[in-house]
Structure 1
Amino acid sequence: MKLLIVDDDPLVCQSLQLLLGKEEDFEVIGVALNGQEAIQLCHLQPDVILMDIQMPIMDGIESTKIIKQQYPFILVMMLTTFQDERNIRLALQAGAEGYLLKSSTVEKMAENIRAITSGATVLSPDVLKTIMEPSRESLQGLTERESDIVELVSQGLSNKEISEQLYLSVGTVRNMLTIILDKLELRDRTQLAIYYWQRKSQLGK
């Protein structure tokens, strides 16, 4: 498995290159010190990019967005010290398949890198806890009809089933769902359902 390491700290790059390079199935094919360099090295076709977030010239979230557009087959694992909800959600929306903290052990990093290549989305326990406890502020701002759609999505209904229940066209449901996801800064229906049930639990309903 070919890895590309992206971090603005040369010592972090060297450490990860040394430690992960010891794994028999890993080959570190390059390092980059910012997002722009990462994009330039994508011609090497790494299987997985370990991407820091805060870097000069171009940050990890912006470069991830560009990489996923130009090289959708390359997997991106965010590896950062940032654990705030905003960065987590922006990274996932940009297309990252995983989000790990630098405090993770090398063994856990290796295990999770292998996991995303099998199609899993990987979040470290602390990161998962952060997004499972959304701020109340970000839950506000939905209209009554949008709230109805969120509730039906949480019950597993398809766009067609929702349209029949609410007497809307499928296109309208699809458009409203896009607006809802944008408002709540969520990536997909699964995250929306988790968001709904977490909110319901918090409100004690």
Structure 2
Amino acid sequence: MKVLIVDDDPLVCQSLQLLLGKEHDLEVIHIAVNGQEAMELCQNEQPDVILMDIQMPVVNGIESTKRIKEQWPSIQIMMLTTFRDEKNIRLALKAGAAGYLLKSASIENMAQQIRALKAGSTILDADVLKTITEPEKAALEGLTERETDIVELIAQGFSNKEIAEQLFLSVGTVRNMLSVILDKLEFRDRTQLAIYYWQRKQE
């Protein structure tokens, strides 16, 4: 079985290659550092399974997954990422990923999971399954769902740049949306926003 690893973290790639290299029926045919490279390798190599990160330069993992599944529907894709938020999980599954594992999870059984994925099973990390089966959070009063996402990330201490990366937005867009949110709620700064968010969570 041919496996393609797509991740811009060299340590992750080396670890996976070492682990999977011990399996007689699995072959890591290539490592790609972004979604664009992954698509080019699919054209030339036709892997059976792809282990795909989400946040990468050039083309991210979700967009790459969508394009690959459109062109090569038989290729099975498992997201392997640090993102466990509902938005990324649902976007990845909607794009066509048949698996979603967190990098924090044990990867000792990665080979078995890859075989199960190739056989047609859906592989979801326990924390991921919990995230998508819990009721979706309602938007904060007066805010859109996306604005609520931004407030939640602000309350968790994320910077504008980190929020932009999480939500696949530009930093400028996050800055503009933050200004709109502050105006809507009549707050001065992000500290007041964070306090407001946690007070609402306790209600």
Deviation at 1:66, TM superposition (A): 0.3
Q: Distance in 2 between matches of 1:105 and 1:111?
A: 12
Q: Distance in 2 between matches of 1:80 and 1:56?
A: 14
> What residue in structure 2 maps to residue 136 of structure 1?
137
Q: Which sections of structure 2, spanning at least 5 residues, go unmatched?
A: 140-203
> Quick one: which amino acid aligns to residue 110 of structure 2?
M
**TM-superposition CA deviations, 1:22-71 (whole Å, max 9, x none):** 11211000000000000000020110000000001110000000000011
Deviation at 1:78, TM superposition (A): 0.3
> What residue in structure 2 maps to residue 59 of structure 1?
60
Most deviating of 17-26 and 88-97 = 17-26
Q: How many residues align?
A: 138
Determine whether 1:40 maps to 2:40. Answer: yes
Q: How do 1:164-175 and structure 2 match up within 5 A?
A: none
Q: Distance in 2 between matches of 1:126 and 1:111?
A: 19
> What residue in structure 2 maps to residue 71 of structure 1?
72
Q: How do 1:1-205 and structure 2 match up within 5 A?
A: 1-42=1-42, 43-137=44-138
Deviation at 1:128, TM superposition (A): 0.3
Q: Distance in 1 between matches of 2:54 and 2:67?
A: 14
Deviation at 1:105, TM superposition (A): 2.1
**TM-superposition CA deviations, 1:80-116 (whole Å, max 9, x none):** 0110000000000000010001122222222211111
**Percent of residue pairs bearing the same amino acid type:** 70
Q: Distance in 2 between matches of 1:110 and 1:103?
A: 16
Q: Does the residue aligned with 1:107 lie in a helix, a strand or coil?
A: coil
Q: Which sections of structure 1, spanning at least 5 residues, go unmatched?
A: 139-205
Equivalent residues of 1:4, 1:28 under 8 A apart: yes
Q: Distance in 2 between matches of 1:136 and 1:54?
A: 24
Q: Distance in 2 between matches of 1:134 and 1:24?
A: 42
> Quick one: which amino acid aligns to residue 51 of structure 1?
M
Q: TM-score under structure 1 normalisation?
A: 0.65
Equivalent residues of 1:3, 1:46 under 8 A apart: yes
Which stretches of structure 1, 4 residues or more, deviate above 6 A after TM superposition?
A: none
Most deviating of 13-22 and 26-35 = 13-22
Deviation at 1:120, TM superposition (A): 0.9
Q: Distance in 2 between matches of 1:110 and 1:137?
A: 38
Q: Does the residue aligned with 2:109 lie in a helix, a strand or coil?
A: helix
Equivalent residues of 1:20, 1:106 under 8 A apart: no
| Alignment RMSD | 1.1
> Quick one: which amino acid aligns to residue 96 of structure 1?
A
Q: Distance in 2 between matches of 1:81 and 1:128?
A: 15
Q: Distance in 2 between matches of 1:120 and 1:20?
A: 19
